[in-house]
Structure 1
Amino acid sequence: MKLRTLVISLLALLVGTGVQAQSLADAEASMEYYLPQDVEYDESIPTPQEVLGMVPGEWHVRHDQLVQYMHAVAEASKRVTIHKFGETYEDRDLVYLTVTAPSNHQNIDQIREEHVALTDPAKSGELNTADMPIVLYMGYSIHGDEPSGSNASMLVAYYMAAAQGQEIEEKLQNSVILLDPSLNPDGLNRFASWANTHKSKNTVADPNSMELNQRWPSGRTNHYWFDLNRDWMLVQHPTSQGRIDNFHKWKPNILTDHHEMGTNSTFFFQPGIQSRTHPITPEKNQNLTKAIADYHAEIFDENQRLYYSQESFDDFYYGKGSTYPDVNGSIGILFEQASSRGHAQESEHGVLKFPFTIKNQFLTSLSTWEASQNLRQEILNYQRNFYKQAKEAGEDADIEGYVFGTDDDQARTYHLAELLRRHKVDLYDLNQDITVDGKNFKSGSSYMIPSDQKQYRFVKALFERRTTFTDSLFYDVSTWTMPYAFNLPFAELQGRDYSDDLLGNKVDGLPEFPNGEVLGGKSDYAYVFEWDEYYSPRAVNRLLEAGVRVKVASKPFTGVTADGTHEFDYGTILVPLGPQSVDQEKIYKLVQKAAGEDGLTVYSVGTGLTPNGIDLGSGSFETLEQPSVALLSGDGASPYEAGEVWHLLDQRFEMPPTLFPMDRVERADLDRYNVMVMVSGSYDNLSDRATKKIKRWTQNGGTLITTKYANNWAERNGLANIEYLNGDEESEEEQEVTPKPYADMSQARGAQYIGGTIFDTKLDLTHPLGYGYNDEDLTVFRNSTLFIKKAENPYATPLYYTEDPLASGYVSDENLEKLSGTAAVVVSDVGSGRVISMTDNPNFRAFWFGTNKLFMNAIFFGQTIDGGSGN
């Protein structure tokens, strides 16, 4: 008998019946503790200890160690291959293992092609699922500070590569496992460094220990502090984009998503709260999830684990790892393990040790694999029927297709098209100009999506406007209507509006980024371009950084261009060639770059005289300063929202902000910045001296941008002249309290929370914050109950909610009434400076392209807002 098997067998004898002691206190970092005792293991497959010098749970694994171990297993085992599919922002490798029987590896491409064909209604009827392998995607620790999953992935990889026996061989023959050991390498590494750095020789379980209390922004998020478990549908980050490519390359039947939750919890597995399941998800999906849950319950009962299901979590938002599969013919399963957060922590169930949490993730990986074998053909048939029924529903749908796009901003149109194609949505160029519901869509700048396609359910989920719900509580947002997020005109096509003749060329792969041009070639007088395009800020910043003088028009005009005349709107950018210290040839190359890389149409202008409106030498053209942005960061500020600003400026506009620690404000030179951003937060950590310094800086001409609850700080400290809406005072009779059942309290309170809803607003297109917009109707995203009254100065509220503002999502009647007609943005005068108070987050999760412009206008044009217009 092999030595490794002998050790495990001896341990089994020591514990009597072979059932290991399962209390939290008995957990230990040893392979004997983790592994099943009735299996022999191939000694040619290295253990984590043999490769890394440690057993999982002894230390927190770093990402480089995790990848090192996965390479070692793949090299040693004929059951395993390893694939690199990308890199993170911090240049860490994204990898996954393919685990299956060696004979399957020999024709793995054919297996994959046949499996994917199961999702094609035109081919799937010919396939026999009786002998078809089931495909599992096992993903671990998308939140970096929930590390038990990634640490367990080493055990899963070892077990699948090394375990011997006929049962194991049959499972491998009947399945293909895609094992993704770290869904968030940057966050995992950040947290491992923290936990290992603060680990004592003798384990400390005191919840007050520094090891168990991370510093801001924590290891939960990626490099830019985004929650990647909200990005599966949004695909704004390279980790998500690569992962979604893998998903659609294989179309897995089951996807496991391993997480952690509060230390005093136990273990959760799906299905979650049934009343909150998205109505587009088939009932069969939830029934199969329940059937799989029986296997988790069985293995946890055997191991004396506490657990629960159908509580706390839901399957509504399709942007999470456990729900994205549900709208793509798969079954997503969320696992939540109580977190030790470090190596051990006191809990109400005793001292919770890291190895105990790791083993639970390992056990549910095995129970999922077991369930997939026993339910294999039923799940494969479900996948086939899902796509067959989706296409049939699309064929019969009242809405026969969707059209979207604008020629005012082709970059936003491109990015929505890009998102759709990443999810394999059938997309076509619009073949001819059409007008629907008073909206004009032009061939060459618009796209068509027919409902008659296998991704119909996904398309419907992205385009629907839903305002009625069976439940008033949501674990995440209640809506995500994509055209609203991108501020793009769109229309639902029904009856006579739709025709197959509208379908132009089908978009294969990803669409091409729109090319701009310099109309008229090199100029001897000036270049002019409009602010409409999404990447206009990047072009202007590039010019300013090169020392080029740039102006913005505060009034419209008619310009004389090389091909005649053109109507230019508020916010048009002027690059005059006369008063410049930069060589004209360099300026021309910069505007060529703006046309090519930023998608701008730049006009060469040969004269300063205009037929209508202001001339190019008018004082209504205001000189711009290059923004120098300080983003206040640290405890008190939302790391998510700070990260969204950082990502927006750094990744999209190539103008990185200074991540400014709050404790440096009182001793730093603020004069090197002209814009300061305070995202939602409390900011109680700012000292009186720091607060006075920010106020002085603003009075001297700075632009302070505050979002959501940062407005409270600004108002308290005399920087924002805003007034909150608290509701009308009730009469004594109306204040009488009616007793209610205690059991209803959580539901009633939760119903008053706005977790993520889309609303209609009106925008002043003549205001600097409205530059580049062409429609006063703007949809915004809101996830707070912060209500601000319109300013007393009639010019100080450039954006406000309509009287009937609900566009999509859930809001209580009480909150809808409060919100109606209130301010979305208020501008305050503070000396020579401006404070721009935004009630909402215009950069939510990096996919609200439509309101990004509002934020960028505050950065670039806040300095130009007339002092008399502030509150």
Structure 2
Amino acid sequence: MKHISILLFIIHFLVLYVNGQKVDLNYYLPDITYDSSIPTPEEFLGYQVGEWHVSHDQLVYYMKELASHSDRITIETYARTHENRPLVLLTITSPKNQSNIDEIRKTHVSLSDPKESGQPIVNMPAVIYQGFSIHGNEPSGSNAALMVAYYLAAGQGDYINDLLDNVVILFDPCYNPDGLNRFASWVNTHKAKNLIADPSDREYSEAWPRGRTNHYWFDLNRDWLLLAHPESKGRIANFHKWKPNILTDHHEMGTNSTFFFQPGIETRVNPNTPQKNQDLTESIAEFHAEALDEIGSLYYSRESFDDYFYGKGSTYPDANGGIGILFEQGSSRGHVQESINGLVTFPFTIRNQVTTALSTQKAALNLRADLLSYQQEFYKGVKELVKKNPVKGYEFSSGKDKAKAKHFIDILLAHQIKVYEQGPDSYLVPLDQTQYRLAKTIFEKVTTFEDSLFYDVSAWTMPEAFDLDYQEIQGNLKLGNLVSEPIEIDGRIIGDVAKYAYVFEWNEYYAPKLLNKILNAGLRAKVSSEASTYNISNGTKSFGLGTIVVPIQNQELTASEMHNKMKEWAAETYINIYSVNSGKPSKGFDLGSPSNNNLIKANVMMFVGDGVSSYDAGEIWHLLDTRYDMTLTKLDVNDARSADYSRYSVIIMPAGNYRDLSVDALERWVANGGTLICYKSAIDWAKRNKLVNIETVSSEKDTSEERQPYHMISENNGRNVIGGAIFNTKLDLSNPLMYGIENDEMASFKRGTTFYELTKNVYASPAIYTEDPLISGYITKENLKALSGTAAVFVGGKGSGKVVCFADNTNFRGYWYGTNKLLANAIFFGHTISRSATSR
């Protein structure tokens, strides 16, 4: 009895020790010998891992400290975040391998070349890429990285020597430095000496926009394919430099959850992914299960998440001959929190991440030959896939917008997809190349699916997002010149110093950036509402609707100063600006025509804060700040009552509920001539407050009264969701909101099932969904029928002001370059829309 009491006391003491965050090294790591010359995380930080949330600078400094003490580690900075924080990558392997690391890398990469299909793998190390905390408020990963890196640097014994001889570990301790630092600051600031486990405590309720996202509030785990951010661009460069066999992505989920590892739901695997990938994922999972069994942690697999969207960390490797592994740990979201599974402590969450990081290494060691063989066969099998596919390639053209095509090609090249220049402004991507699967998924349109539920989007067809003309090629391909470097584009003045005006077209992507520079410099500009042809230095040129005219006379700059500025701005924005010496056209309207509307400087404000979608707001901020070079005031909705709206010409309401936002001052501002831009659910606020006259359309749902089994609830409810699909819209190109768009049809990305009837004013819906709008992605027949013919863009108003409404996100994830134009047009031309073309 005495022994039992002592045992119970020890167990009780250990539980308190963990809940109080006081744990020792062996709580996290195997009880082996460690090199005493290498500092432990506790010795370096001054606290044990799990007592506090590590800041990003502390994390990086410790990684550098390890590299300075260990001949197993080299470290490099591979990118910097928007907040200028370094992203670092450690290459960890045996000293012997380090001495020959470049040759090992080249030999490993050769496995992805079908021409090197005979490359022997007997003595070749496997390569794994271990990355942590791409969501900043899922911090157990990056805090676990401290312990895992120490283990690899200081651990002694036959097993770790064998591991480092046969595996190269690419170690990325934090995928999202800005988000991690934001979250660490929050929870450390609110940590009490006596830890509070109550979920209602402020520690567990982050301030908007929370730490999940990067500086511009983007989810970086949706950017692996899209590459809108420096973090992702650097990471993908690392990936293709090595082409790892396994890539791990350590996340967190709800506090009441346990621990998840892949494989996920079987029916939600991208059909371009080979079955062998899932078989190996299952084999790797056995190592995770064994390791978690040893420490008694609850876990599950196969019941959640999916491997469909190739733009996530756990799926991108699947299209590149590797195995992507997602880990999801039930989160403490601070230091300790109550859950249905008992108290979830920060050290406990870190321990599970450490455990599965080590089990991944063990799996790579034991499955080394299988992983290398799979990678080799993955690329050898491309030829057979090409033969079976009637589509042999995709041809696309830039049209009049060379910048969009350049950025699209930049993304293709970053993913090592071969592109060939076929002629002026025409390009070809053949499918007969090693990156067959990735090229196919970027271009293909998919409308049939095995499963109706998706963890993320069901479509991402990228040439549609860029609004590029493209087509499938099914015959023999004649390849032009290989594009081996990013395409260079430029802009210049066409002609000498203008005597009458400078003119440029609006179709180019960076035209809003150029116009903003002109207006900010205090110069007057006009926008043409009619197409005309003017004499230029080397002949005549036709200019379409939306052409910008900057007259020479009555400006604050002299003609010579204007010429110098225009030359400078043309180069900065990659746009050709034309010198015109007479206002008389050879065809069309005079440059001084009253049909040319005066433009005003865009002073833009956007609502942010609680209730506003930080994703949608961040995408708008990112577009205006980084691409259009515009200033944007971000006003918290809680400060709206004291705001002076008269400072702004444009106010943007991203998707949000805006329940507590008063309409009075905003209504007066609109009535006095302001342009209000409402996205998605913000339209409901404008509708309730009678700033736009619009009605919603109810989608038809399955009204069958047939009894359904209980376990089908989630699937039956989920199949009506539009998680993300691409639809076709018909445009009125004469409307100022459509200036600069070449074709009268454009793809739009839609999430959600709120549809809007056409406005009663026949001029107020300049973009509508076509009668058969589905381009790519999943939607039920009932929702498709309801969506057809509804309004995608519509305009309301009050007094002399306009309310521009976008049913969809024109800036989704930073890669919808095509529909970005719609927001720019609303900002710069919204005030020029006729009052007669609004729905009031």
TM bin, normalised by shorter chain, reads over 0.9
Letter in 2 for 1:100: T
Partner of 1:657: 632
Partner of 1:824: 792
Distance 1:549 1:87 in 2: 38
Is the Cα contact below 8 Å between 1:150 and 1:182 reproduced in 2?
yes
Structure 2 SS opposite 1:176: strand
Matched, 1:147 2:147: no
Partner of 1:178: 170
Partner of 1:777: 745
Superposition map of 1:282-681 within 5 A:
282-394=274-386, 396-430=388-422, 443-495=423-475, 498-500=476-478, 503-512=479-488, 514-681=489-656
Is the Cα contact below 8 Å between 1:519 and 1:604 reproduced in 2?
yes
Distance 2:213 2:378 in 1: 33
1:505 Cα deviation from its structure 2 partner: 2.1
1:450 Cα deviation from its structure 2 partner: 1.3
Letter in 2 for 1:703: T
Partner of 2:3: none
Distance 1:458 1:685 in 2: 46
Is the Cα contact below 8 Å between 2:430 and 2:477 reproduced in 1?
no
* CA deviation string 1:774-819 (max 9, x = no partner): 1101000000111100001110000000010000000001100100
Give the gaps of 5 or more residues in structure 1. 1-13, 431-442
Is the Cα contact below 8 Å between 1:25 and 1:352 reproduced in 2?
no
* CA deviation string 1:332-369 (max 9, x = no partner): 00000000000000001111100000000000001100
Is the Cα contact below 8 Å between 2:446 and 2:776 reproduced in 1?
yes
Structure 1 SS opposite 2:623: helix
1:595 Cα deviation from its structure 2 partner: 2.6
Is the Cα contact below 8 Å between 2:802 and 2:830 reproduced in 1?
yes
The counterpart of 1:721, out of the listed 666, 685, 693, is 693
The counterpart of 1:833, out of the listed 771, 776, 801, is 801
The counterpart of 1:809, out of the listed 750, 773, 777, is 777
1:21 Cα deviation from its structure 2 partner: 10
Partner of 2:153: 161
Is the Cα contact below 8 Å between 1:143 and 1:259 reproduced in 2?
yes
* CA deviation string 1:528-569 (max 9, x = no partner): 111000000000000111111111001111111112211111
TM-score for the superposition, normalised by structure 1:
0.94
1:427 Cα deviation from its structure 2 partner: 1.1
Is the Cα contact below 8 Å between 1:24 and 1:352 reproduced in 2?
no
Structure 1 270/633 Cα, relative in aligned 2: closer, same or farther at 3 Å?
same
Structure 1 21/479 Cα, relative in aligned 2: closer, same or farther at 3 Å?
farther
Distance 2:438 2:587 in 1: 48
Structure 1 386/706 Cα, relative in aligned 2: closer, same or farther at 3 Å?
same
Letter in 1 for 2:597: E
Moved over 6 A (4+): 18-25
Is the Cα contact below 8 Å between 1:707 and 1:838 reproduced in 2?
yes
Choose 404-413 or 171-180, whichever is displaced more. Answer: 404-413
1:132 Cα deviation from its structure 2 partner: 0.4
1:20 Cα deviation from its structure 2 partner: 13
1:613 Cα deviation from its structure 2 partner: 1.4
Is the Cα contact below 8 Å between 1:229 and 1:320 reproduced in 2?
yes
1:617 Cα deviation from its structure 2 partner: 0.6
Matched, 1:49 2:42: yes
Is the Cα contact below 8 Å between 1:15 and 1:21 reproduced in 2?
no
1:30 Cα deviation from its structure 2 partner: 2.6
Is the Cα contact below 8 Å between 1:25 and 1:353 reproduced in 2?
no
Letter in 2 for 1:147: P
1:181 Cα deviation from its structure 2 partner: 0.4
Structure 2 SS opposite 1:259: strand
1:709 Cα deviation from its structure 2 partner: 0.5
Distance 1:390 1:215 in 2: 48
Distance 1:714 1:180 in 2: 45
Is the Cα contact below 8 Å between 1:413 and 1:446 reproduced in 2?
no
Identity %: 52
Structure 2 SS opposite 1:595: helix
Is the Cα contact below 8 Å between 2:195 and 2:335 reproduced in 1?
yes
Structure 1 SS opposite 2:338: strand
Distance 1:161 1:169 in 2: 11
Partner of 1:4: none
Is the Cα contact below 8 Å between 1:649 and 1:656 reproduced in 2?
yes
Choose 656-665 or 531-540, whichever is displaced more. Answer: 656-665
Structure 1 380/24 Cα, relative in aligned 2: closer, same or farther at 3 Å?
farther
Matched, 1:93 2:86: yes
1:737 Cα deviation from its structure 2 partner: 3.5
Partner of 1:707: 679
The counterpart of 2:65, out of the listed 62, 67, 72, is 72
Is the Cα contact below 8 Å between 2:259 and 2:299 reproduced in 1?
yes
1:113 Cα deviation from its structure 2 partner: 0.6
Structure 1 SS opposite 2:381: helix
Distance 2:542 2:349 in 1: 64
TM-score for the superposition, normalised by structure 2:
0.97
Give the gaps of 5 or more residues in structure 2. 1-5
- What is the count of residue pairs matched by the alignment? 832
Distance 1:240 1:20 in 2: 45
State the superposition RMSD in angstroms: 1.8
Is the Cα contact below 8 Å between 2:204 and 2:333 reproduced in 1?
yes
Partner of 1:6: none
Matched, 1:252 2:244: yes
The counterpart of 1:856, out of the listed 803, 809, 824, is 824
Structure 2 SS opposite 1:841: coil
Distance 1:557 1:215 in 2: 52
Structure 1 715/635 Cα, relative in aligned 2: closer, same or farther at 3 Å?
same
Distance 1:820 1:834 in 2: 26
Is the Cα contact below 8 Å between 1:325 and 1:331 reproduced in 2?
yes
Distance 1:556 1:374 in 2: 68
Distance 2:14 2:402 in 1: 59
